[in-house]
Amino acid sequence: MSEFEVAFYRQLLMGAGIVLTLGWLTVSFMAPGRTRSVVEWISAMALYVAIGSIMARLFHRFWIEDNEALIGIFGFLCLIFGSGLVVSFALLLRSFAGRDSGAGAAH
């Protein structure tokens, strides 16, 4: 794996970690409401991006090494975390539209 590829995954993980931490701190001190719900879903998406970037990096590494068993395992994990990211994005859009059911990302 080249230095550029490693740096890409590292920057993606660091950026998602920063967004997640700031979102978590912000939600901790906000009153329940629409803005808090939006910040919760953005933080949830950042969590899925962070975990997904770890899994994608490992998947990429094992793809290069041609390790079929680990390709299958980490490919499955990428699919699972990618699905969570899509669901979180859909719920974020729903929260932006004001049709939030009141249940935040932490429920």
Is residue 70 in a domain?
yes
What is the count of structural domains for the chain? 1
Q: Does any domain span residue 12? A: yes
List the Cα angle 21/24/27 in 5-degree steps.
Answer: 150
Say yes or no to pLDDT of 65 above 60: yes
Measured distance CA(56)–CA(47) in Å, rounded: 14
Is there a domain that residue 103 lies in? no
Ranges assigned E (strand) in the chain: none
**Residue of 2, 5, 9 lying closest to 78 (CA atoms):** 9
Is residue 104 a part of any domain in this protein? Answer: no
Q: pLDDT value at position 104? A: 55
Domain assignment of residue 15, given as a range: 3-96
Digit-coded pLDDT (tens) for 72-93: 999 999 999 999 999 999 999 9
pTM of the model: 0.84
Residue 74 lies in a domain: yes
Q: Would 11 be classed as within a structural domain?
A: yes
Within-domain flag for 7: yes
pLDDT in tens, 24-61: 999 999 999 899 999 999 999 999 999 999 999 999 99
Q: Is 64 contained in some domain?
A: yes
Q: Phi and psi at residue 45, in whole multiples of 5°?
A: -65, -40
